[in-house]
Amino acid sequence: MTDERRSFRREPEEKRREALIAAAQSLVAEGGPQAATVRAIAARAGVTAGLIRHYFQTKDDLTRAAYLALMDGMTHANTAVLDTVGDDAELRLAVFVAASLRPPVMAFDRVGLWAGFLHSVQQDAALLEAHEAGYLGYRDTLQGLIAALDRPAMSAQLRSDAIACNAVIDGLWLEGSVIPHAFGPDELPRIALRSVGAMLGVDLLAHAAIALNLPLDDPKPDADPAAPFDETME
């Protein structure tokens, strides 16, 4: 009943920034941009709204940072997957394809984030650039994996092949994330392996056993596991 001032702990700058960014991301992922108000973000990060302004000049700055962090994490995760496997070209491609269609990449949160940021990105040149770089980077990696395959010289179609394979992956990712219950377990990664293989003339399904059982990291393993936050702001 006594309205005493809320107690707090001082945290290092980097930790607070990350917490605020993570809070903003999860809110956008769950409820869209409208859900990510400064107060909601602060609450989820376990602080009060004013603190946001102490680490970010404006809310748009936080939004930008959240999107850039997202893109950063995705590209990092993509290359990380390839580091866990040897140099058999077919296997590498299979692993790369399958990883994009399993958690934590295939989850509604990801689509929610992507959709929630779409319009902000379109209205900010820097974000647009980051978005394109992310997309093209992913496609280039894919194209490199395709080029490494040992198949009859079809290098003229390399670009088209990469675009098409990328599209299958994106489409399956979209559908599987939004309507997960419409598909059986492992159905989508299997379909991806089969159709990408069919388009390229290789048998990726032969590597399904490995590609589907590879352990995948969660996006932020170093984040604070316990949320020091009670819902009531009063």
Interface positions with a second copy (CB under 8 A): 30-35, 108, 111-112, 114-116, 118-120, 122-123, 131-132, 135-136, 160, 163-164, 166-172, 174-175, 178-179, 182-183, 187-188, 191-192, 194-195, 198-199
In whole angstroms, give the CA distance from residue 77 to residue 61: 24
The answer to the question of residue 70 lying near DNA (CB under 7 A) is: no
In whole angstroms, give the CA distance from residue 38 to residue 62: 10
The answer to the question of residue 193 lying near DNA (CB under 7 A) is: no
- Judged by CB under 7 A, the stretch of 8-16, 113-121, 156-164, 167-175 that binds DNA is 8-16
Question: Residue 143: what residue type?
Answer: Q
The answer to the question of residue 58 lying near DNA (CB under 7 A) is: yes
In whole angstroms, give the CA distance from residue 214 to residue 223: 22
Among 52, 168, 202, 204, binds DNA (CB under 7 A): 52
- Judged by CB under 7 A, the stretch of 43-51, 95-103, 168-176, 190-198 that binds DNA is 43-51
Give the torsion sign (CA, 97, 121, 43, 13): positive
The answer to the question of residue 51 lying near DNA (CB under 7 A) is: yes
In whole angstroms, give the CA distance from residue 204 to residue 45: 43
> Could you give the count of Cα atoms lying within 13 Å of 158 in the half-sphere of its Cβ?
15
